[in-house]
Chain A
Amino acid sequence: MTREIMYRDALKEAIDEEMQRDPTVFIIGEGIAERGGSYKVTEGLLAKYGPQRVRDTPIAEAGMIGVGVGAAIAGARPIVEILYVDFAMLGMDMLVNQAAKFRLMTGGDGRVPFVMRTQGGTGGGVAAQHSQSLEALFYHIPGLKVVMPSVPADAKGLLKYALRQQDPVMFLEHKHLYMTKGPVPDGEHIVEFGQADIKRPGKDVTIIAWSNMIPRALEAAAKLAEDGIDAEVLDPRTLVPLDKAAILASVAKTNRAVIVQEAVRRGGVASDIASIIQEKAFYHLDAPVEIVAGLNIPVPFNLELEKESIPQVPAIIAAARRSLHLEPFTLAPTA
């Protein structure tokens, strides 16, 4: 049986259930205790678990991430909520040089069961310092897991799984998704890392997307279906670990891939996935791998420009059609 609940409530259920299960789970962040968090994910947890385990912090991201990492090393299970992924940049040393390195540098003895929850993406005119999609920064760092749920069920199942892992997890939510609803299974619901989900099966072209690009990919697939094109929408759900096998299997089936990311194109995860596809499925490709990504610019404030700077449904449709040789494109490299 399932219930239709919001993404943010699915996250809260995950935290609540895991705090209930494991007394070393605690959560710190700005305005998360009494106020319940900017997106109400932690509402009610202070009353239920008390001020020891649900703590507000000063505005000190480097300190709170570092303290979270230290607590994890010492055997607790912190969730550090960072209001915007943009602000996590203040704590990059602690994530990159400490959390990600500790296990290897201790020869495997030291583990860092640390979860940083934060959110990114454009959000209707909040400008360049509150709109970024920065998963590629974390994806690039060996030792960090990167999770990007697109629907409530995945949000809950992946967060619960994250809180049982021994490695630092970058749990990246999307500000547009908190109020979206979807079915979530009753009872214990866990989604393991590294398991892609086919959000829509199809045979003609594989569209790979994550987070807030999943709703758009599905919309594009529905429109493509009107023209008799049967697109498969694949959601990796976790970028690290990445379910390469599922991606390659889908591409082997459809012989074409369109990768959609909200993040800027340059140096993005989509590029890496494209490189994996060309390396491992080259002789299954009947068209170039298409990437639909954000422009290589900071996100503008102006709403029309903001929209222009990130992938929209028509761009996804056009890319899929190009890969099916239904739209013109040039074979020659362009400058």
Chain B
Amino acid sequence: MTGQNERPNVPPAELLEKLFRTAFKIRVFETEGIKLYRQGLIRGYFHPYLGQEGIATGVCAALREGDYIASTHRGHGHCIAWGADVKRMVAELLQKESGYCRGYGGSMHIADIHNGNLGANGIVGAGTPLGVGAALAAQIKGSDAVTVTFSTDGASNNGTFLESLNLAAIWNLAFVLVIENNRYAVSTRIEDSTREPDLYKRGLSIGVESHQVDGNDPLAVYELTRQAVQKCREGKGPILIEAKTFRHMGHHVNDPGKYMPEDELAYYKARDPVDRARNALIEMSGVEASRIAEIEAEIRKEFEDAVEFSRASREITMAEFEAFAADY
């Protein structure tokens, strides 16, 4: 086995493999999930994370058990990076009882509250105050848990962005706000939403340490988040990270995204975060192509198994629903 020593000053192989596995798993989940949608197995809304995998992958790799994440309407990637069970995710998308929310939530609302996932959210921007609240709860309980809210360029124009980040600042909360800047709020270009498309500057204006990073580079995202999380645990939070990225398709599964210029898309596709994670693993840790193929096959199998599991699962019964609803 090739020792790390022969490749001085590169990230550990375990980290590189983890980043690739996560990014690829998200890619497979979204790509195959869209097919399930097309077949009518998934109904409702479906916002693919395709193209943005590098951010969730890098950020979550820097967190540990006991921390919290809060996500967006485009939340599948965050769940997977956080370590969610793909079986229960697919089951939720198929509205089955074995899903994370027993089929009550769906694509936009997967949460795993017992494992620190505060959930995806159908209201753009809502994750920010919720994440700050979790950080406040941690502080009051004397825990050193860090909360990360994944947010969006669109959400940064929402009032609660300022209100809650400011609360995190005055209370020195262990909170990291990650703005996934994919340049489009649904179909509106960032230049039409704000005069200042470098969104990290908003944090600076209220005294919050703020950074910008290439969101399509999982390793760079990981490293910046690792430092931010460290500072938060030392009581130096909150920290804002703006991660520049781009969607590979429209806002949701039925949006062809024709408003996204082809050259822009080509530019980002050439900087595909999954490819970069794969290349980093190959180049920096010298993993053989056959090993990559094994990993990919394993992940594809995991998804196929999840579909089988979900299709075999049952839906909530009317009696269960009535019992649940009676409490309202």
Contact = CB atoms under 8 A, between A and B. Distances in A.
B266 interface: no
Interface stretch (A62-70, A197-205, A316-324): A62-70
A73 B111 CA distance: 11
A64 to B, nearest CB: 7
A237 interface: no
Contacts of A97: 122-123, 126
B159 A62 contact: yes
B183 to A, nearest CB: 25
Given A58-B167, A106-B111, A66 B130 contact: yes
A106 B137 contact: no
Contacts, number: 146
B136 A73 contact: no
B126 A66 contact: yes
B105 A105 contact: yes
A109 B111 contact: yes
Given A67-B129, A105-B111, A143-B328, A52 B166 contact: no
B104 A106 contact: yes
A272 interface: no
A66 B113 contact: no
A20 to B, nearest CB: 15
Interface residues of B, number: 46
B104 to A, nearest CB: 5
Nearest to A58: B166
Interface stretch (B6-14, B138-146, B197-205): B138-146
Interface in A91-128: 93-94, 97-98, 102, 104-110
Nearest to B103: A107
Contact of B100 (A55, A73, A107, A142): A107
Contacts of A106: 100-101, 104-105, 109, 111, 113, 119
A108 B328 contact: no
B186 interface: no
B164 A66 contact: yes
Nearest to B132: A67
A27 to B, nearest CB: 11
Nearest to B170: A58
Contacts of A73: 113, 118, 130, 133-134
Contacts of A64: 163, 167
A105 B104 contact: yes
Contacts of B70: 70
B268 interface: no
Contact of B102 (A53, A78, A94, A108): A108
B119 A108 contact: no
Contacts of B163: 58, 60, 62-64, 66
A109 B113 contact: yes
Contacts of A110: 111, 113, 119
Contacts of A105: 101, 104-105, 109, 111, 119
26 contacts: A52-B140, A58-B163, A58-B170, A60-B162, A62-B159, A62-B163, A63-B164, A66-B126, A66-B133, A67-B129, A67-B130, A67-B167, A70-B131, A70-B132, A72-B137, A74-B147, A76-B140, A93-B126, A105-B111, A106-B100, A106-B111, A107-B99, A107-B103, A107-B105, A108-B324, A109-B114
Q: What 8 A-B pairs have minimum CB-CB distances, sorted nearest first?
A: A70-B133, A66-B129, A63-B163, A107-B102, A70-B130, A76-B137, A74-B134, A60-B163
